[in-house]
């Protein structure tokens, strides 16, 4: 009729309305008696058989659902129990078939289904052969139902378990008459795919909805059989339908075998025997149903994950079909999903990339999945993790690195919040991977990486791929400028060499500090526990990074732990570690709060002052100067004595930087040390070197010498010497010194003699003058006088001025000696 929308669901509801609770089956509408026999059109007969075939496929799905429900029941279910439960499967099933034969499943099929369900429930421990033994019975029962004809449509509907999950997942694929029939069409305009019987029944039902149902059996018997040609075509269509049903049943059984029995050959990648299963949309729908209804056990999660991965590999055009299923499964079992994915696809193929992107894009699964990924990254070379199915195979850290790189590549315009929050942890872990894969490569790691390269294009060495991941991470968070700055200084190349790796890490730390101190602060805080544990493999690069970012830390919070780390490395036999520890100590010494804490390191620092490494001595002097500058700590006399003895050789060192720092430290020591008689002899012996360096051509050395000389005069309480230093009258210093302390003239002469060979011409001339003044105040019998004359006589200087001055001084000394001799007689 025009404007009427016909569907099996409406027909089924109308049929239930007509059945009163206590009415006998004979009270059926009268209009059924007027059902017209089907036409002799062979095409229409084929359409009816196609619709019956769809009903048979639906019954196969119902059988599978009964199996699913029976697996969930703890108690054994008998066929009688199944029959006693209400029929609810048709109401949950999607729109049924438009033919009357598909509105209900025959009782024979229901009995077979109930037996099959009970059999599976009571033999849950059987192997794959059980599914194969059940399949022939299932197909034979279905074939038998196809020969019963239209008369079997009034049989009792299939009963299902009360806890059987819904089959709403088939709704998208159910055949609906609402789609097949145009809303404004009448009987003459009905499509050829809708049986004439259904149209006649619908039309007459509208005319007398409450007719007596007692005549229905008779009218059903009056349905005229199809002609012989139509029967032959129906037989061929029945055979095709049986084949389709048998294939559908096989598909369901194979899928059960995959999930419950988890055959290794079934899960093998590239298994052509099972490609049709993963190409079928039914398997995706079954996966949806399993996860959404919770019809699985925890130990089956890895198998489901492998099924999802294999399905995505076989279905390129529909890669987001199982996103919701994957997210729901990961919410309940994040560890099993992430670890299984890393094991199944370590090289991160196309399907794995899709799955990682889905998990990272969901706010419910992003954080747990990233945390699991980061945890695997931290264990080199592999992390042993047990999944719910009992699998304890190792998960390689490089597999997590590949997955992280893919995640960073997928998010070009955004960075996952979990990655940004864990940036310090990730950066340190990746840098460690670069170092360890450069320093040593085990055979198992080489084998693993070779297999990954066979699956996709990857760099030949794992350390290069780790560097690429570091670049991707920095690019996401800090931009391209940092990468270019490090590249201009050859930082990426140095990172791939074992002997220069720690230099590259320090360079990276400096560039990060230039861009963001907050990032560097968080990295340093993450680095302290690793250095405190004393991990020997990556200790040197970690220490290099820490030293570069120490100025970003709060010394009051991190100072004690940093000081503990540095004190351990000060005694290291490795020169590089000692240098890095001293650099860190110099940074800490600039804070007044750390001055008292560094007092315990005095002994170690005193030993380093005698080190042959100039850089180490220089940093030790700087640390001492910074600590004494605040005048918070008073140096004890024994420590001061050791320090003065260690400083004296440095006053005449050939390195001007060491000269300057040693004299500045002497001045600070004079200010921070209590006056003691035991210190005065060492102070006296420092006066002559300070006097000569006061005339040094290096202005910094000259200024440091002036400060040291002033401090010494102040410590000795020599007012005259202090005044001439203050007024900067260096020419008066020798006479004042030699007159003030005649008992040490010989010592002063011995200290002045080396300056005759100084590379600086002013110092050589100054030494000659000092020796001439000293000779006049010396007695004849003093051996130092003979040393002076011999030294002046041996001078053969290239400069005529120096040579002439030496000869003149020598003649004056001899003349004075003769005059003294005549006066003696």
DSSP calls for 380-412: SSEEE---TTS---EEEHHHHHHHHHHHHHH-S
* pLDDT tens profile 202-217: 344 344 444 444 444 4
Separation between Cα atoms, residue 376 and residue 378, nearest integer Å: 5
Per-residue pLDDT band at 2 (split at 50, 70, 90): very low
Separation between Cα atoms, residue 736 and residue 687, nearest integer Å: 12
Can you give the pTM of this predicted structure?
A: 0.66
* pLDDT tens profile 648-686: 999 989 899 999 999 999 999 998 888 888 899 999 999
pLDDT on residue 445: 93
Per-residue pLDDT band at 277 (split at 50, 70, 90): low
Separation between Cα atoms, residue 757 and residue 754, nearest integer Å: 6
Mean pLDDT of the chain: 74
DSSP-assigned letters across all residues of 537-550: TTHHHHHHHHHHHG
Per-residue pLDDT band at 799 (split at 50, 70, 90): confident
* pLDDT tens profile 315-356: 888 889 999 999 999 999 999 999 999 999 999 999 999 999
User: Which residues 6+ apart lie within 8 Å of 810 measured at CB?
Assistant: 789, 792, 793
Residue 573 has pLDDT above 70, yes or no: yes
Determine the 3-state secondary structure of 635 from DSSP: strand
Quick one: how far is CA 739 from the chain centroid? 75
pLDDT on residue 69: 54
Phi, psi dihedrals of residue 253, rounded to the nearest 5°: -65, -40
How much is the average pLDDT of 683-697? 92
Contacts 24+ apart (CB under 8 A), 367-370: 367/418, 368/330, 368/334, 368/338, 369/330, 369/334, 369/337, 369/338, 370/416, 370/418, 370/419, 370/422
How much is the average pLDDT of 117-136? 38
User: Which residues 6+ apart lie within 8 Å of 77 measured at CB?
Assistant: 70, 117, 118, 121, 161
- With left for phi above 0 and alpha for psi between -120 and 50, is residue 181 left, alpha or beta? beta
Per-residue pLDDT band at 294 (split at 50, 70, 90): confident
Separation between Cα atoms, residue 268 and residue 81, nearest integer Å: 40
Cα–Cα distances in angstroms (integers) from residue 621 to residues 134, 569, 574, 594, in the given order: 88, 17, 20, 16
Q: Burial, 305: exposed, middle or buried (Cβ in 10 Å; 0-12, 13-18, 19+)? A: buried
How much is the average pLDDT of 444-470? 94
List the chain domain ranges: 249-256+277-411, 419-553, 752-820
Residue 814 has pLDDT above 60, yes or no: yes
* pLDDT tens profile 391-412: 999 999 999 999 999 999 876 5
Q: Specify the higher pLDDT residue, 249 or 474.
A: 474
Secondary structure tally for the chain: helices H, strands E: 43, 2
Per-residue pLDDT band at 111 (split at 50, 70, 90): very low
Determine the 3-state secondary structure of 178 from DSSP: helix
pLDDT on residue 606: 92
* pLDDT tens profile 7-21: 434 444 444 444 444
Percent of the chain with pLDDT over 70: 65
The 10 Å Cβ neighbour count of residue 413 is: 5
């Amino acid at each position: 009729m025009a404007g009427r929308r016909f569907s099996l669901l409406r027909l089924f509801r109308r049929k239930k309305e007509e059945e009163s609770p206590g009415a006998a089956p004979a009270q059926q509408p009268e209009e059924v008696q007027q059902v017209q026999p089907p036409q002799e059109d062979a095409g229409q007969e084929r359409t009816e058989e196609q619709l019956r075939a769809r009903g048979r496929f639906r019954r196969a799905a119902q059988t599978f659902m009964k199996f699913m429900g029976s697996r969930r029941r703890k108690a054994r279910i008998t066929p009688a129990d199944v029959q006693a439960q209400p029929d609810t499967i048709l109401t949950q099933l999607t729109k049924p078939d438009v033919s009357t034969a598909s509105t209900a499943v025959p009782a024979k099929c229901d009995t077979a289904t109930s037996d099959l369900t009970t059999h599976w429930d009571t033999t849950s421990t059987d192997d794959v052969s059980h599914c194969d033994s059940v399949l022939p019975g299932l197909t034979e029962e279905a074939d038998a139902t196809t020969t019963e004809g239209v008369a079997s449509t009034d049989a009792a509907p299939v009963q299902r378990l009360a806890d059987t999950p819904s089959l709403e997942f088939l709704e998208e694929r159910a055949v609906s008459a609402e789609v097949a029939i145009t809303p404004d069409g009448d009987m003459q305009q009905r499509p050829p795919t809708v049986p004439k019987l259904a149209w006649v029944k619908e039309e007459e039902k509208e005319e007398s909805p409450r007719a007596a149902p007692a005549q229905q059996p008779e009218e059903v018997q009056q349905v005229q059989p199809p002609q012989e040609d139509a029967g032959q075509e129906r037989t061929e269509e029945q055979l095709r339908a049986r084949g389709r049903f048998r294939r559908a049943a096989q598909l369901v059984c194979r899928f059960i075998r995959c999930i419950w029995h988890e055959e290794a050959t079934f899960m093998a990648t590239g298994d052509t025997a099972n490609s049709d299963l993963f190409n079928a949309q039914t398997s995706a729908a079954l996966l949806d149903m399993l996860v959404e209804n919770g019809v699985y056990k925890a130990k089956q999660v890895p198998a489901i994950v492998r099924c999802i991965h294999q399905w995505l590999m076989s279905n390129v055009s529909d890669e987001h079909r199982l996103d919701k299923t994957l997210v729901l499964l990961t919410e309940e079992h994040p560890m099993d999903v992430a670890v299984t994915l890393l094991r199944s696809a370590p090289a991160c193929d196309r399907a794995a990339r899709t799955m990682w992107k889905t998990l990272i894009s969901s706010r419910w699964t992003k954080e747990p999945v990233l945390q699991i990924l980061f945890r695997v990254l931290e264990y080199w070379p592999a992390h042993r993790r047990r999944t719910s199915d009992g699998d304890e195979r190792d998960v390689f850290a490089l597999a997590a690195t590949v997955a992280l790189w893919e995640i960073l590549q997928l998010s070009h315009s955004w960075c996952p919040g979990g990655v940004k929050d864990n940036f310090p942890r990730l950066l340190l872990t990746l840098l460690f991977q670069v170092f360890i894969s450069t320093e040593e490569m085990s055979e198992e790691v080489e084998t693993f990486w070779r297999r990954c390269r066979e699956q996709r294009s990857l760099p030949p060495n794992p350390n290069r791929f780790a560097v690429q991941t570091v670049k991707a991470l920095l690019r996401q968070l800090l931009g391209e400028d940092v990468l270019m700055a490090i590249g201009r200084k050859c930082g990426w190349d140095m990172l791939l060499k074992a002997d220069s790796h720690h230099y590259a890490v320090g360079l990276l730390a400096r560039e990060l500090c230039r861009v963001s101190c907050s990032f560097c602060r968080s990295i340093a805080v993450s680095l302290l526990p690793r250095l405190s544990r004393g991990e020997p493999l990556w200790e040197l690069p970690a220490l290099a990074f820490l030293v570069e970012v120490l100025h970003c830390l709060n010394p009051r919070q991190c100072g004690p732990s940093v000081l503990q780390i540095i004190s351990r490395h000060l005694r290291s036999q490795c020169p590089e570690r000692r240098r890095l520890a001293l650099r860190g100590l110099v940074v800490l010494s600039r804070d007044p709060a750390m001055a008292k804490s560094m007092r315990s390191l005095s002994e170690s620092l005193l030993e380093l002052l005698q080190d042959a490494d100039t850089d180490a001595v220089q940093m030790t002097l700087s640390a001492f100067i910074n600590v004494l500058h605040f005048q918070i700590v008073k140096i004890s006399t024994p420590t001061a004595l050791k320090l003065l003895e260690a400083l004296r050789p440095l006053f005449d060192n050939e390195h001007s930087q060491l000269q300057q720092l040693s004299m500045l430290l002497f001045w600070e020591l004079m200010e921070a040390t209590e006056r003691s008689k035991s210190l005065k002899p060492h102070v006296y012996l420092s006066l002559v070197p300070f006097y000569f360096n006061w005339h040094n051509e290096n202005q910094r050395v000259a200024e440091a010498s002036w400060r040291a000389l002033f401090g010494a005069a102040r410590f000795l309480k020599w007012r005259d010497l202090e005044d001439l230093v203050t007024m900067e009258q260096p020419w008066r210093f020798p006479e004042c010194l030699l007159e003030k302390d005649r008992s040490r003239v010989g010592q002063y002469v011995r200290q002045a003699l080396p300056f005759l060979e100084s590379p600086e011409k002013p110092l050589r001339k100054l030494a000659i003058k000092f020796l001439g003044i000293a000779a006049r105040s010396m007695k004849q019998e003093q051996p130092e006088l003979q040393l002076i004359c011999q030294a002046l006589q041996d001078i053969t200087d290239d400069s005529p001025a120096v040579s002439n001055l030496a000869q003149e001084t020598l003649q004056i000394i001899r003349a004075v000696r003769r005059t003294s001799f005549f006066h003696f007689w």
